[in-house]
Amino acid sequence: MAAPWTDSQLAAELAAKNGSGWVIEVAGAVVGYAFFRTSPPESELLHLVIAPERQRQGLARSLMDWSLQYLEQNGVCTCLLEVRDSNKAARQLYATLGFSQVGRRKKYYCGPVEDAVLLQRDMKELNGEGHENA
């Protein structure tokens, strides 16, 4: 898979008390995963990976739809993430999921050096509920 975490990184994330992770399996093989770190009312997407041969099949969208629904049902109102500025496909996916740009982190990524675009999704506003403290 593209930019996968090491086994030790995956194990550490699975053991994190405020972490949530989901995988997609096809024919018994893991073809994608998403990990979030959550501190209600906020959550942050740490990593979303789909195997290259399974990309552009709707798996990332399905995984994100399910994950965001679960997080919202468990008290999350806002979800944040960073994405490479050049990753147009991911940025388009996140836009269709209701994320909008709220910032930029200069030279955040290396190999190659690149800015990160900071995105946010306000789940309550998307569902017509608004903020209690807005």
| Active-site annotation holds for 129 | no
Within 8 A by CB and 6+ apart from 131, the residues are: 77, 122, 124, 125
Q: What does the block give as tokens for 91?
A: 């940025």
Residue 114 is a catalytic residue: no
Query: Cβ neighbours of residue 110 under 8 Å, at least 6 residues apart?
Result: none
Could you say which of 53, 70, 82, 125 is catalytic?
82
Helix (H/G/I), strand (E/B), else coil: 88: helix
Which of 44, 94, 108, 125 is labelled catalytic? 94
Catalytic (active-site) positions:
82, 94
